[in-house]
Structure formats: C-alpha cells, structure tokens
Amino acid sequence: MLKLESAAAFVAVAESGSITEAARRMNLSKSVISERLSELERGLGTKLLDRTTRKLSITEAGRGFYERAKRIMQEVVEAKAEIAEQRGELAGPLRISAPTSFGILHLGPALYGFLARYPGVELTLDLDDRFVSIVADGYDAIVRHGPIVDDGPVIVRKLASSRRFLVASPDYVERFGRPATTDELKRHKGIIFSIRGAADWRFKISRRLVTIRPQTALRVNNGILMRDAALAGLGLALLPAYFIRTEIADRRLTVIDVGAEPEGAAIYIACPEDRRGSAKLRALTAWLRDAFGDPPYWEARAGAHFAS
C-alpha cells in the first residue's frame, strides 16, 4: 500500500536533491527519510533513486513517479485546505522565503499577527538575500523587492509600492559636499548593493532612465549594512524607504536631491502556478497588503522628511 508520508519524502528528496535537505524541510531525521524511501521502493517494486555516498540521482521510473506523486501531494494539501476553509479555518504548512533585512524589519512583525489570527497555519520563514527559485527550492511563496524571475511558471502579485531615496549622513555632506545633479554623483563614493546586476543607480529624467555608476566605497548584499555604512559616513546609498524612515526622521540621514527621481520598485509575493487556488496564500496576501498599507506605512509615516 502506498503511504502518503513515503510519497511526500520522495517528492522532497527529488526537489531538494538530497536526503539531508529533504529531512530539514520536513523537520525529520535523515534516517526516517531513508526508511520511507526504502518502504516506497519496496511497495512499488522498483528503484526510484540511485544513491551513493557522494551522489543521488533519480531513475527513469523515479522521474515518472515524481510528476504523479507531486500532483497527488498537492491535491492532498489543497483538499485539507478546502475542508479547513469550509470550517472557517486555515491550517497546514506554509513555507516562505523573503529578503533578510525586509523580513526582520517589516515582514516578521506583519506575520506575527497573521499567525495569531490563524493558529493552525504552520509557517516556515526562510530569510535569504540570494535569488531563490520558488519551484526548484520547494517554496509555497516568496516575497521579494523588485522583479521576480523564476525557472518555472509562477503567479506574481504586488503587495506594496517601494520608493527609493538617495541618502547620506550629515557628516559625509559636510566633508564632501552635497551633489546637486546626477553628473555630480560620479565624483562621489557610493555604497552599492552587490546582488545580481543591482550595482548601477538609475534615475528618471524626462521619462527615461539614466544609469549612474559612482565610485565604490563598499559593496555589500544586505540593506541594513548599507544603511549603517551610510550612517557611518562612508558614502551615498540608494535605499528603499523601509530601511531609512526612522533615520531620516531623526536627521541622522539626509535625502540628497539631484533633480531626478530614483527608479522605484515594488514588493511582490509570488507562488507556483499550481498554488494559485491556495486559501492560505490568498489570506496571507490580503493580510500583508492590509498590514503594509497603500501607500505603505514606511513611506506615509515619514511624510515631509522625504523629498518629494
């Protein structure tokens, strides 16, 4: 007899590429995962995985079974969600990825209320600044600042707008001056976000985007560290408002107006296409939109402290 937990273990191994990672995702020991895989292969009478001490690969039979098992597991999850929804409840696992800094500053506090409202939801939140794949990495959804590109078909929904501002510490401005045009930026030092093509600064001038490449004071892949480097006077930083609203209000950072608006972005949530009907994801999306607001609170509350 085919057991659902054994099929689930196989799907997790197939998607993660290792028993260790599958065990982590399912919060089980490696020995339990291995036992369930062996039980599944015995029940099916065929080998699904080729395992050595160094490598794990899916057999031809395993590839065929994976597609069917994945659909079965998804149907089970959705069936449970539908039953829970009919009872006015949301329940079951929900695995999300989000950027580290935004997750700490804003997403986490919003999620606490969501979990209090829906205590049956078993949330796993992975904070990671790398560009993860929703499908390949096995997430139910990802939250990202900026465009979402994935290896598989995904559904993308906007959660909030996100304005960027060019900022510097008063000490930096006193020592190096305040640039007044985009051309003057080229003579200043910049604190640069270093992830995948994000090194350039882009500004809107007469309905076109102008790219600026300042001198580099620091390259780093974390927004909080960029903010702190700007506070330390190392250079100019182009940052979303959600990082700097308090520092602007306290005048520890000042907005630099170069006569052009920095390119904006948005905060999105994306899920695999086959999760389109998930009641949990619909509820989460609505909750986060309401929690962030329109305009989002990190811009609205800063008010006049930001340059128009």
Q: Nearest 5°: phi and psi at 95?
A: -115, 120
| Alpha-carbon torsion (234, 238, 240, 245), positive or negative | positive
Q: pLDDT tens digits, residue range 56-69? A: 889 999 898 998 88
d(CA 102, CA 96): 13
Task: Give the contacts of 208 (CB within 8 A, at least 6 positions apart).
Answer: none
Q: pLDDT tens digits, residue range 112-126? A: 999 999 998 989 999
Residue closest to 167 by CA, chosen among 76, 282, 87, 247: 247
pLDDT of residue 308: 40
Q: Characterize the bridge pairing of strands 215-220 and 189-193.
A: parallel
Angle ∠(162,167,171) on CA atoms, nearest 5: 160
Where, residue-wise, is CATH 1.10.10.10 in the chain?
Answer: 4-84
d(CA 103, CA 97): 9
pLDDT of residue 72: 86
Domain 90-160+274-291 CATH class label:
alpha beta
| Overall fold of domain 4-84 | Arc Repressor Mutant, subunit A (1.10.10)
Q: Across all residues in the chain, what is the average pLDDT?
A: 88
H-assigned helices in 99-204: 100-102, 108-117, 170-176, 182-185
| Overall fold of domain 164-263 | D-Maltodextrin-Binding Protein; domain 2 (3.40.190)
pLDDT of residue 151: 67
- 50-82 in b/e form (b: 16+ CB < 10 A) is eeeeeebebeeebeebbeebbeebeeebbeebe
In 48-185, the DSSP E strands lie at: 49-51, 56-58, 92-98, 121-127, 141-145, 154-162, 164-168
Cβ-contact 173, 254 below 8 angstroms: yes
Q: pLDDT tens digits, residue range 195-220? A: 755 567 999 988 888 898 889 999 99
d(CA 294, CA 263): 19
Amino acid at 20: T
> Across 72-81, 165-174, 296-305, which has the greatest mean pLDDT?
165-174
pLDDT confidence tier of residue 3, bands split at 50, 70 and 90: confident
pLDDT confidence tier of residue 88, bands split at 50, 70 and 90: low
Report whether pLDDT(85) > 70.
Answer: no
Average pLDDT over residues 283-300: 93
Average pLDDT over residues 272-287: 87
pLDDT confidence tier of residue 1, bands split at 50, 70 and 90: low
d(CA 83, CA 81): 5
Where, residue-wise, is CATH 3.40.190.10 in the chain?
Answer: 90-160+274-291, 164-263
Task: Give the contacts of 282 (CB within 8 A, at least 6 positions apart).
Answer: none
